[in-house]
């Protein structure tokens, strides 16, 4: 059998400021169809910039210095701050429907129906639609689910998640992670999941890449890295989250 073609190949990606200060240095990884890769590392290590490079949406002042990104599928991103990613003046169902309308080219009426289906898929209550709620009337966890729905409305082959649960309490964190795991099984997208929490990354992803100061310092099978971390920084991250919470599938159903 032919080996599986990667869906995404990031090869020697280097990003720098206009003044040529290196921000991301020779980052390389691949992503197979349906696979999930956890990108872990401290604040400022270059995780968000790497995702933005894959999305083709670098922030102002940051340039591609070197390297290539080859993607065989469309990517959509769940941004770091859910409330900031939503329009405060537009009802949430309408925001999801707009994405469906433009990305799936459905009529307004069909887009609203598709948006409501997405909300249901994400476990959001029907009352959100009936009352046409605004982002300020939703909890943080509900906003995050709306933002995930908007990303999924693009029908992405690759879902880029930038710390989607950092701002949430641990119970809601767990619910969102269970939802993402369920959706990935149902919809089959590949995923790059950014977090600074190694335990969350290991629960969600079969492979991990550990970033520090713009570089990948360790990269491999998630369990292998947890059991035999090679880089001192990875060891420190593991110590920071021990005891490792129950992994996927072992929690209450
Ligand atoms: N628009 C920008 N212009 C200049 N430097 C930037 C810009 N955006 C980010 N940086 C710098 O690039 C580095 C990596 O930033 P990035 O946002 O990727 O970090 P991160 O790993 O996502 O951190 P966090 O966990 O805090 O979100 C940081 O040093 C940051 O200051
Ligand atoms: Mg970030």
User: pLDDT digit of tens for each residue in the chain (253 aa)?
Assistant: 556 789 999 999 999 999 999 999 999 999 999 999 999 998 999 999 999 999 999 999 999 999 999 999 999 999 888 888 899 999 999 999 999 999 999 999 999 999 999 998 888 888 887 778 999 999 988 999 999 999 999 999 999 999 888 777 888 888 888 889 999 999 999 999 999 888 889 889 999 999 999 999 999 999 999 999 999 999 998 888 755 555 555 545 4
Specify the pLDDT at position 15.
98
Among the bound ligands, the one closest to the CA of 47: 1
Which residue among 15, 39, 47 is best mutated to probe the pocket of ligand 1, counting the most ligand atoms within 8 A of its Cβ? 47
**Cα dist from 96 to 36, 241, 247, whole Å:** 25, 35, 31
Instruction: Match 């990031």 to its residue by tokens.
Output: 10
DSSP codes, 20-65: --EEEEEEEEEE-TT-EEEEEE-TTSSHHHHHHHHHT-PPTTEEEE
DSSP codes, 102-171: HHH---HHHHHHHHHHHHHHTT--THHHHTT--GGGS-HHHHHHHHHHHHHTT--SEEEEESTTTTS-HH
What are 18's two structure tokens? 């206009």
Residue minimizing CA distance to atom 3 of ligand 1? 61
Specify the pLDDT at position 253.
46
SS3 246: coil
Separation of alpha carbons 106 and 72, rounded Å = 24
What are 202's two structure tokens? 């290991």
Q: Which positions ≥6 away from 182 have C-beta within 8 Å?
A: none
Residue minimizing CA distance to atom 28 of ligand 1? 44
Specify the pLDDT at position 28.
98
Which residue among 46, 166, 209, 214 is best mutated to probe the pocket of ligand 1, counting the most ligand atoms within 8 A of its Cβ? 46
The pocket of ion ligand 2, defined by CB under 5 A, consists of 48
Give me ligand 1 centre to Cα 215, in Å. 13
């Amino acid at each position: 059998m032919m080996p599986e073609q990667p869906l995404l190949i990031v090869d020697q990606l280097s990003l720098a400021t206009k003044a040529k200060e290196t921000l991301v240095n020779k980052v390389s990884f691949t992503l197979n169809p349906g696979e999930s890769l956890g990108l872990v590392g401290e604040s400022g290590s270059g995780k968000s910039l790497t995702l933005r490079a894959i999305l083709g949406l670098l922030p102002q002042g940051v340039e591609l210095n070197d390297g290539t990104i080859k993607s065989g599928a469309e990517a959509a991103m769940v941004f770091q701050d859910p409330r900031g990613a939503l329009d405060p003046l537009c009802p949430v169902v309408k925001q999801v429907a707009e994405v469906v309308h433009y990305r799936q080219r459905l009529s307004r009426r069909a887009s609203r129906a598709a948006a409501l289906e997405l909300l249901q898929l994400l476990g959001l209550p029907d009352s959100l639609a009936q009352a046409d709620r605004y982002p300020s009337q939703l909890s943080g966890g509900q906003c995050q689910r709306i933002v995930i729905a908007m990303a999924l409305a693009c029908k992405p082959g690759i879902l880029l998640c930038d710390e989607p649960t950092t701002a949430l309490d641990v119970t809601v964190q767990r619910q969102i992670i269970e939802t993402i795991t369920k959706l990935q099984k149902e919809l089959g997208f590949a995923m790059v999941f950014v977090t600074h929490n190694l335990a969350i990354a290991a629960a969600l992803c079969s492979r991990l890449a550990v970033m520090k100061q713009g570089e990948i310092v360790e990269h491999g099978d998630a369990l292998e890295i947890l059991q035999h971390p090679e880089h001192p920084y990875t060891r420190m991250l593991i110590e920071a989250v021990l005891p490792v919470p129950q992994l996927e599938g072992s929690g209450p159903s």
